[in-house]
Amino acid sequence: MRKLNPSETRLLVIFGCVIALIANLFAIRWYVGARRAALDRLSDLRTMGAEYRSIVAERPVWEARQRWMEAHPPMAYAGWQTESSFAEDIQKSLQKEGITIDSQSLRESRHEGDLVRMELELSLKADLEHIVRWLHAIQQPGSYVVIEEMNLKCLDKGDTMIVRLRVTKIGKMEGVAKSS
């Protein structure tokens, strides 16, 4: 191998420096990306840790709820009879408060484990006070009635409102074949 002249040596050194610089740029880029990903993961872990700590702090509340649920289980679900009874109960409670039913639709029940969700979609017309009283009356502890969706519109005149909502009652499966 022949000896390199000074310009070739200089060119070789410059080429080596450029290769080293490019390698360093790729290494720095990889390091910055890995560091950013690690910091994002650390932030996620801190958030998860805070959530877990809050869950642990709420444990006595949830245990008390569990004991209450065991002492006051939801009503037994007996198929369409239970669903029609639920719809009739809602109709009676609405009539008691003087609320007009514009439309109603009993949706297909949904099974989630040993619980059944019976859903009734309603469109109602009444003044706001009667609607609030009715909502309070049907959602008492132990009734297992939940308002899942609600859209409230005020009519042009007075206190009359139009309400569209989905009322759900939770029941417990007992001895009925589950349908999907």
For 42, what's the count of Cα atoms within 13 Å in the CB-facing half-sphere?
A: 6
pLDDT digits (tens, 9 = 90+) for 99-139: 989 999 888 888 888 888 999 999 999 988 999 999 999 98
In the CATH hierarchy, which fold is given to the domain comprising 76-173? Alpha-Beta Plaits (3.30.70)
Residue 178 has pLDDT above 50, yes or no: no
User: Which two three-digit tokens encode residue 77?
Assistant: 């679900």
Q: What is the pLDDT of residue 180?
A: 41
Q: What is the pLDDT of residue 44?
A: 96
Give 8-16 contacts, CB < 8 A, sequence gap 24+: none
Residue 158 has pLDDT above 90, yes or no: no
Residue 153 has pLDDT above 50, yes or no: yes
Q: What is the pLDDT of residue 61?
A: 92
pLDDT digits (tens, 9 = 90+) for 61-93: 989 988 988 888 888 887 778 888 888 999 999
Q: What is the pLDDT of residue 29?
A: 96
Residue 3 has pLDDT above 60, yes or no: yes
Neighbours of 110 (CB within 10 A): 12
145-154 and 160-173 beta bridge pairing? antiparallel
Domains of the chain by residue range? 1-57, 76-173
Q: What is the pLDDT of residue 10?
A: 94
